[in-house]
Amino acid sequence: MMMRLCSLLLSLIALLSLIKAPAMAAAETDETVLIYSATDIPAISPVLDAFRAANPDLVLEYREFNTLELHERMQSPDDGDSPIW
């Protein structure tokens, strides 16, 4: 279980590092980086806190879903705040 959590956190850190450059551009235009995930907030909070500390001018919004909700949300993102792939 701990190995799986560590693997998940490392994967998210890698993902966040990939979006850092676009996120910096987003901060200049007052855009929000929106993350949809099925990871529990207590588990992901250290990663989000580190990202916010590294990008203080960036608005980071995290939305937690269960896996079915997340799947359904990704199948029909129609509310105007859809993630960009």
d(C-alpha 35, C-alpha 61), whole Å: 6
The pLDDT-based confidence of 42 (bands split at 50, 70, 90) is very high
Is the confidence at residue 13, as pLDDT, over 50?
yes
Q: How many CB atoms lie within 10 A of CB 16?
A: 19
Average the pLDDT over 70-79 and give the result.
79
pLDDT in tens, 15-32: 555 555 555 554 455 678
- Of the candidates 53, 11, 58, the one whose C-alpha atom is nearest the C-alpha of residue 34 is 58
Torsional sign, CA 8, 16, 41, 68 = negative
Residue 42 and residue 28 in contact, taking contact as beta carbons nearer than 8 Å: no
